[in-house]
Amino acid sequence: MPSPSWILRPKPNENADLRLFCIPHAGGSGMVFRTWPQDMPDFVEVFAIELPGRGRRISELPYSNLKLLVDEIAESMQPYIDRPFALFGHSFGALVGFEVARELHNHNGVPPIHLCISGAKAPEFLSNGPKIHKQPDAILINYVRSLGGTSEIVLENEEMISAVMPALRADLKMSETYIYSNSTQLDNPILVLAGESDPKVDRGSLQTWAKHTTAGFKMKLFPGNHFYLYEAQAQVLQFLGQALEQSLSSLEDR
């Protein structure tokens, strides 16, 4: 049995028809999803993935190898995928979710019924981005500040910043050194969400996600920046819940 430390269940719901596994942004804790159950329909149970080096796992060394991280997450999910499930990832978490979906597709035989991508360009564009994971702390802090969504109280707190900096650097390293392989095309729908003013993505790099599935593709933009989903949580989760309900209905109709 894998360690339960990877999985957070903000509001356990054994009667849920679908489980939604959520993966946070670079340096983020799974606790960012703690309030999601209040805005999700009752047929969905929210599961948050807690990566080492943050949250309640702050004392652990963060992973810097994406393949190992993906393998661990896929393994940790095994006891909970005895019913339909979906994956949601924001920013760096979207890349992780994409690779977890491919891992489950290739080696487990139980793929998600939906992959939900948030605030992330398609993986083939990642090699064109900036390389900042080796930069001084001040540059990383300014980078985080430019994305919005992080309180200045946090950014100016040296103790808090020093605690999360190793995880942030490790996550950025995995993203910035990622090498895309087109070996697997998914057979589940992909939903792409993003903020209209997100400086990290553009419509072209979002639309390209359509190439990664043989099933349906849909994109929806919301007002806001890179962290739009926390600014308009109820609106975003209402739309997400509707998409998941449609996927579940399609599964039942087969």
DSSP calls for 61-95: PPP--HHHHHHHHHHHHGGG-SS-EEEEEETHHHH
pLDDT tier at 34 (50, 70, 90 boundaries)? very high
Take residue 167 and report the two structure tokens written for it. Answer: 């995880």
Region 104-118: mean pLDDT is: 90
76 in active site: no
Q: Which of 52-61, 130-139, 225-234 has the lowest average pLDDT?
A: 130-139
Is the CB of residue 247 less than 8 Å from the CB of residue 86?
yes
Task: Name the nearest CA neighbour of 44 among 238, 219, 233.
Answer: 238
DSSP per residue, 130-163: ---TTS-HHHHHHHHHHH--S-HHHHT-HHHHHH
Q: What is the pLDDT of residue 177?
A: 93
Structural domain of residue 90, as residue ranges? 4-253
Identify the pLDDT of residue 1: 41
pTM recorded for the entire structure: 0.94
Does the pLDDT of residue 3 top 60, yes or no? Answer: no
- Average pLDDT (27-46) is 95
SS3 37: helix
Which residue stretches of the chain are H helix? 66-77, 92-107, 137-147, 152-155, 158-176, 203-207, 228-231, 233-253
- Report how many domains make up the chain: 1
Tell me, what DSSP letter sits at residue 188? Answer: S
Mean pLDDT (the chain, rounded): 90
Catalytic residue among 64, 91, 175, 247: 91
Looking up residue 170, the CATH number of its domain turns out to be 3.40.50.1820
Which pLDDT does position 2 carry in this prediction? 46
User: Quick one: 58 exposed, middle or buried, by C-beta within 10 A (0-12, 13-18, 19+)?
Assistant: middle
What pLDDT is recorded for position 231?
85
Per-residue pLDDT tens digits for 145-160: 877 767 666 667 778 7
Confidence of residue 178 (pLDDT cuts 50, 70, 90): very high
The pLDDT assigned to 65 comes to: 97
